[in-house]
Chains A and B, each alone.
Chain A
Amino acid sequence: MTWPRVLSALENRGHLKPTWGSLLRIGGWCIVGLVIIALVVPARPGDPARSPYRAQLSSPTVFEIGAPRGDERGFYPSPRSNNQFQIAWVAGSSIQGVDPERRTFLPAELQHQLHTIDGQEVTIDIYFLSGMRIIDELGAVMKAIDSNPDMLVVTLNPLWVLNDRAIQGWDNLDGQLVIGAATSPATWPLLLSVVSPSDILWASAGVRINVFEDRYHWGVKLKDRFGDWSPLEIQPRHDPSEEPSELAQVAAMQIPVFFWDKYDNIVSDDVQGTDRQAAAFKYAADSQSPTARAALRSLLDQINESAIPTYLYLAQYDDEIVAQPVVDQALDTVEDDLAEITAGYLSDLMVIRSESAIRAVGDMDFRDAIHVYDVAPLTEHLYSELCEFTRSQGWEASCGG
């Protein structure tokens, strides 16, 4: 057995006696080592200018700050300046304009019109993750609150807000959940269901020791330097039309919901197109997920406790699909549930629009159930909404008349 041999060697050659005292000394030296590391290794908060979506952001003061999958920092908030009015906007892909000729982000388009508030230039950090689910929104809101913005905008996706099919898509935000929930005991039951002991340990250690918080950064650096070397090269020699095996297809799925959608059918395979989307939406509305509701309540609690002025709204859903009575009814259910859950949170500081934006905006050109080609109609709608909100907060904004 190895350990007696190792201990004997240490006892004989290193004069180490395994006693409680020696264990304490080892622990003490480990702490000293960590303190030195914390002092010596600089923080690596991530650079929002390196966003893959930079070219789609038409305003220089709007930043998409989502980190790549696996990066425990979650988001890279932009540097804060005193003479700027900072909006933190938490949203998934529903705020994207997907016109292939001109891909855009709704907040960037909006900033062109709403460029000053309270005499200060508006900057927007978009806490954006593609496929953002309700627990991801909670993590993002926690991180956003931590950066102390002047105002918060939260976009909820009607398909996913109360859907128990996938309540989380980005588990690299677990550390944010730990930090954000530390002072909110009401969030702990949800938190303990989602995060793991190592998330708690890493997040707690990362508060004081940058290298733990930034471990993704260092991991990538190490991988680039040492962990990626092979004299062999990969040159695809297979026919790309050759279909991979079913198991390989499962292995290639990036998130579990793809698997459940394919194999744990809520809709028959025969149903396709908008009918399929309608059925999926009906499932979302009917699922009555206690977990998603708990996450939504935690999100609202966090905002409430932060006292940051917040505008929260339910994103658009394809009006052609909503025209189907079954979907209209499902959307009604989601809106009613949202209104019921959020009722206790309405205040001067928090405006909540539990009706989907499609109800107010009307006809839009959708690529699929959620994504619009052109965000202009939504921009107009939210411009007017946010102008009203800023007025209600007593701020002067560049809102025309």
Chain B
Amino acid sequence: MLDFDSFDYFEDLLALSLVALPLYYVIRWPTLRCIFLGAIGLYLLMLVAPRLALFYIAFWLLQMSLQHLIRRWPSEDTRWIALSLSILITLTPMVLWKVMPTSFIIDFNVRTQQIVNAASSWLGAIDRIRDILLPIGLSFATFRAIDVLVKIHLDLVDPLRPSRLFAFGFFPPVQMIGPVIEVTEIDEELDRASRPDPRRILGGLLIIALGLIKVFGVSFILEPSGTVFSPDATGATYQFWFELMRFGLFFYFNFSGFTDIATGAALLFGFAVQGNFNNPYLKANPQDFWNSWHMSLTRFCQRNVFVPLGGMRPDRQYLSIMATIMVIALWHDISIPLVMFGLYHGSGLVIHRMVADRRPPSTSVWWRCVKVPVHYVYFVLSLPLLLLPLDQLGGFYSNLIGQGGAS
């Protein structure tokens, strides 16, 4: 329980696409296409568990209200109040989940199950045989929703029509594991309702194949390296280092593999959503790394945290960097290790920026060959902060310096 395999979702999406894609392209009316696309996403959530689908129906209905609240707020001057309130309301489920995981997860499953069962005993019985779940995809949905709210506040987009919101909220490729797409990334294609393009379909198939190779070819072999985080793991110091280095590769190949499947699936439906990774482990400094790691999240935080805080101004840049990376960190979980994760990477980014401001970057290939692996080690050393509870961190880092008493 609680360890939903994202591949289950994607194999259903791909299997369903065999039937759904031809139908999708037959539909030429944009509104109907939106409804069809949203219905696919909703059906896929129902397969995970009807209670999850119910939760997201409520979530996106709430978003519809909040979008109109911002747009119809009586005064331009005080519209920020509507935005703040809307963001607060949108963040609440995610924050509750991260702050009180046990009670939230139990209540989330029990209450939504009860509502599903009250609505239909047939559906209720089906729901009870589905796994007990975390609110899968909530972090992605929350940030996608906030992004729309901000764009409406800035008059960049209008409140989404119900059909458009349905397609965006339940956009099938990105529900489980991102990327955190912007509504503008799919807007044009939804309006155009274009015919199938063999170039995009072939591109989609190739990217999906690449993702499958990453997930099943590479990650599969690297996955046991997760043993390194077990408090019961024993071995020599070099073995802990070796496994941590291997886990860093697993972490990337697994995540980027699933993202490739998601972006490939979007491409099959004609949507060229932006990529989420750009060879991050080949980057030589923290700034380049964060611009190529989980890029959709970074872009979201740049737009909605870094820039509004004045990050483009020299006097505010360091504060903005720290705040941006802290949001990225706390998006994963709200905990002391994640605050440490934010401080660790925030410091790295600030120091890098300070050095870069004073000295032009080196163009030497040899120097880069040194910096890339050093930066890789710098990054993977922070993974325990992302994955372990506070009380296990000391033991973990002790193992890396031969003080764990585990060998």
Contact = CB atoms under 8 A, between A and B. Distances in A.
Interface stretch (B54-62, B136-144, B195-203, B308-316): B195-203
Contact of B124 (A164, A168, A227): A164
A260 B129 CA distance: 10
Most buried by B among A6, A22, A228, A254: A6
Contact of A237 (B121, B203, B231): B231
A25 to B, nearest CB: 11
A289 B235 contact: no
B105 A197 contact: no
A7 B243 contact: no
Contacts of B210: 2, 6
B239 interface: yes
A245 interface: yes
Contacts of B201: 18, 23
Contacts, number: 169
A229 B231 contact: no
A238 B105 contact: no
B369 to A, nearest CB: 23
Given A198-B11, A250-B132, A256-B128, A232 B221 contact: no
Contact of B242 (A231, A257, A260): A231
B326 to A, nearest CB: 25
Given A23-B202, A201-B15, A291 B113 contact: no
A171 B110 contact: no
B352 interface: no
B10 to A, nearest CB: 9
Nearest to A225: B221
B242 A197 contact: no
Nearest to A170: B129
> Interface residue tally of chain B, by bracket?
35 or more
A194 B206 CA distance: 31
B203 A234 contact: no
B193 interface: no
A3 B270 CA distance: 13
B128 A260 contact: yes
A291 B232 contact: no
Contact of A263 (B18, B109, B227, B263): B109
A247 B220 contact: no
B128 A197 contact: no
A18 B198 contact: yes
B204 to A, nearest CB: 7
Q: Is the interface of B mostly helix, strand, loop or mixed?
A: helix
A22 B220 CA distance: 31
A232 B126 contact: no
A259 interface: yes
A18 B121 contact: no
A251 B126 contact: no
Contacts of B110: 263-264
B260 interface: yes
A219 to B, nearest CB: 10
Contacts of B11: 198
Interface string A1-13: 1111011001000
A73 interface: no
Nearest to B131: A256
B162 interface: no
Nearest to B47: A196
Nearest to A231: B239
Contacts of A169: 129
Contacts of A83: none
Interface in B40-75: 47
* 4 pairs of A and B residues whose beta carbons are closest in the complex: A3-B203, A197-B15, A291-B125, A164-B125
Given A26-B202, A226-B221, 7 more contacts: A3-B207, A3-B272, A227-B221, A227-B223, A232-B243, A238-B231, A263-B109
Interface of B: 1-3, 8, 11-12, 14-16, 18-19, 47, 101-102, 105-106, 109-110, 113-114, 121-126, 128-132, 198-207, 210, 220-221, 223-225, 227-228, 230-235, 239-240, 242-243, 260, 263-264, 267, 272, 274-275
13 contacts: A1-B275, A3-B200, A18-B201, A197-B47, A201-B18, A230-B224, A238-B231, A238-B232, A250-B132, A264-B114, A290-B121, A290-B122, A291-B126
Interface of A: 1-4, 6-7, 10, 18-20, 22-23, 26, 135, 164-169, 171, 193-194, 196-198, 200-201, 222, 226-238, 245-247, 250-254, 256-257, 259-260, 263-264, 289-292
